[in-house]
Amino acid sequence: MNAGPTSARIYDALLQQLRKRGYRPGTRLDPIFLADELRTSPTPVRDALHILAGEELVTALPNGGFTTPVLDEKGLFDLYAWNADVVVAALYCQVPENSAPAPEEIKDAQNVDLADRIAAMFQWIGDGSSNIEHGKAIARINARLRPARMVENFLIEGNGHELHGMVLGFGLNMFSEMRKHVTRYTSRRKRLCGPILRHIQSSHSI
């Protein structure tokens, strides 16, 4: 039964848009336009945008408008590090007997963007934790890192191999080895925050 356009449902819909579209940093988010897309009124959209702003997924402007956050090098470095911290914490809290199968986004390599596959990989880890906050935190981090992940493939060789190694390790419950994979994965990206940001800023595909 459809409960109607509640704020929670609109929040979830906007979060999915932020995660999937990978808006260019600084993109204006018009509540009226978004409301039309989501077939609702602007009020629940504004409410949801304010919640997203509190989670740093959206920036609330002094004039009442909203944009996607503008990244800087230090912020991107810290975000990569925070992703690793949460993923490693989630790996320590895994319950192997309750492990879910690999998401379809990971397995269907031909039809899913690599950025989506990486996000699905980390979400799989977060959702497998005994601490439900890990999955929630990773969902937010995935949305914030989406623009960077969309350009990583242009700058970092072997992205697909990294992902394959993590998928294999996690699927076999090799959590100690997985933590090493995540550390190496993160270190490569932290070293390239400047070039990644420059590529985002010059790209017309985001």
The model's pLDDT over 108-146, given as tens digits with 9 standing for 90+, comes to: 566 668 888 899 999 999 999 999 999 999 988 998 898
Residue with tokens 């985001």, as numbered in its chain: 206
Number of other residues whose CB lies within 10 A of the CB of residue 194: 11
**C-beta atoms surrounding 69 within 10 Å:** 19
Band of residue 157 on the pLDDT scale cut at 50, 70, 90: confident
The dihedrals phi and psi of 66, each to the nearest 5 degrees, come to -140, 145
Categorize the per-residue pLDDT at 103 as very low, low, confident or very high, splitting at 50, 70 and 90: confident
Dist CA 85 CA 182 (whole Å): 9
Residue 62's CB is within 10 A of a number of other CB atoms, namely 5
Cα–Cα distance, 163 to 168 (Å, whole number): 9
Residue 8, both tokens: 């929670």
If residue 49 lies in a helix (H) or strand (E), which one and from where to where? Answer: helix 42-54
Q: Give the predicted TM-score (pTM) of the model.
A: 0.81
Q: State yes or no: pLDDT of 82 exceeds 90.
A: yes
